Structure 1
């Protein structure tokens, strides 16, 4: 992606984030839920929505924060290790008993930061055979409440965040334990927005999984994407409403980007098992879509 395109997208993202927010998610296996036909089925009448509208609909900042509450449960103990990339700490989890070359995944945290729940997600991806590296876009901080999460998210420097993602991708390609020849990115909410931004920026990416993150609906900005896109959204999401997803779908089609979109009768953050709006059946079905997509795109 040309850097001027990235800067325009980053500015749009920053405007939305500085006023309101993106937020939390996760997942778990086993099926069900309403998942309409794969992508490229958006009505021709879909209208493009502005970045701020696409993020929050009619929600205030307080209304958006109210969508996100963590449960008290602890995540399972981590099995990976901390590494340093681009001067920041990241969490690396490698599949047991496998050697390079390995398929690589950049994992981008939700608005709570790189906490134990994202580490657990990263371990789950490693169990599926991927070298997974979870970046930290908050400089080592994690939030315990929505007010802190909002403040941390607003403080993110877009240029620095993109540099961290590029460094993580380079790590996957160059680390002798990994030497990834195929790579992808996955993120939830705040991380879902960055999963899209990284796909717009990085031409060597093979796959991008976007869980209900802030969307770009300008076909010209989406056109540089080379990765295949898989989008997961909730029809009851007030932050990323169905009409914005429609516009995103239509824009990807116009830009010639290969993509599939699944929608669920669920709320924002429905795939986060550590969140109070977790919908196990919808999250499980979404995970059952994500796993074969990643295998198809990243198997080496």
Structure 2
């Protein structure tokens, strides 16, 4: 993550020509055929500055679970202290399941209470520390594998699980795709500056409203794309709430050199409030 419009190394790159850095990166207008190419685009890579060093030491453990393609998947799991059918799926940025994402998972866990938090490893153990590394991993991860991991996570949570999701960047896109896969089990979806689904017919199958958090200075997910997403959701008969901040792509990541603490705090307050209502 049914055919998903996800990042995958499925198509040849011979015809690809990188765009100038100053030009907007049309990430959200990009077709499935072009998504693998974006990982090699220097301008796209430059939207993601190498994360600052960060080490996580807290709650949680790595687990494994089965997937439909026969290859085990893994995730960082923090189990609710009390038996609970409430789940929050956390989706990584394009760097991978690094310590920053684990810390974000624990933060949500502590603030939500009585919720199982599962941060899925969408890269099967690979983590990029530079834009170039992340780009290569993005290109080499087939969309079919991403879908298999998401479906495996849903199965691990169980048929009675009530699932909300949150993700950033690449994970923002996955959060929305996860909500589509979760069907009637989906209770909430938060996407931070992720590529929106453009297929109105797919959006019609959503069982939840969406909270979208974006930056007005984001060249990858520009305001025009966000406006189109709002229009598509309205056409699909679905509700979306957009929070737009005067910030760049990846502004909510504390390990991002361009991190915006003020916007991050307000965005988290909105995300947490939304998720508390959905997982109450």
2:173 equivalent to 1:193 = yes
Alignment of structure 1 residues 17-28 onto 2, 5 Å? none
Structure 2 gap segments, 5+ residues each: 18-27, 67-71
The alpha-carbon distance between structure 1 residues 194 and 16, as it changes in their structure 2 partners (threshold 3 A), is farther
Give the CA RMSD over aligned residues.
Answer: 2.7
Could you tell me how far apart the structure 1 residues matched to 2:277 and 2:75 are? Answer: 26
Q: Aligned match of 2:91 in 90, 95, 108?
A: 108
1:10 matched residue in structure 2: 5
Alignment of structure 1 residues 144-163 onto 2, 5 Å? 144-163=129-148
1:222 matched residue in structure 2: 203
Offset at residue 222 of structure 1 (A): 1.0
Answer yes or no: is the 8 Å Cα contact 1:206–1:226 preserved in 2: yes
2:245 matched residue in structure 1: 264
Offset at residue 253 of structure 1 (A): 1.0
- 1:103-141 deviation digits (Å, cap 9, x = unpaired): 201111111101111111111111122211111111111
- 1:18-74 deviation digits (Å, cap 9, x = unpaired): 879xxxxxxxxxxxxxxxxxxxxxxxxxxxx7335999xx99811121121234332
Could you tell me how far apart the structure 2 residues matched to 1:113 and 1:155 are? Answer: 13
Runs of 4 or more consecutive aligned structure 1 residues displaced over 2 Å after TM superposition: 13-20, 49-55, 70-73
Structure 1 gap segments, 5+ residues each: 21-48, 175-179
Q: Which has the higher contact order (CA 8 A, sep 6+)?
A: 1
2:69 matched residue in structure 1: none
Offset at residue 15 of structure 1 (A): 8.3
Could you tell me how far apart the structure 2 residues matched to 1:252 and 1:191 are? Answer: 19
Offset at residue 172 of structure 1 (A): 2.2
Answer yes or no: is the 8 Å Cα contact 1:199–1:205 preserved in 2: yes
Report SS of the residue matched to 1:202.
helix
Could you tell me how far apart the structure 2 residues matched to 1:241 and 1:233 are? Answer: 8
2:56 equivalent to 1:76 = yes
Offset at residue 90 of structure 1 (A): 1.0
Answer yes or no: is the 8 Å Cα contact 2:65–2:153 preserved in 1: yes
Could you tell me how far apart the structure 1 residues matched to 2:10 and 2:231 are? Answer: 21
Answer yes or no: is the 8 Å Cα contact 2:91–2:168 preserved in 1: yes
Could you tell me how far apart the structure 2 residues matched to 1:10 and 1:239 are? Answer: 16
Could you tell me how far apart the structure 1 residues matched to 2:39 and 2:199 are? Answer: 23
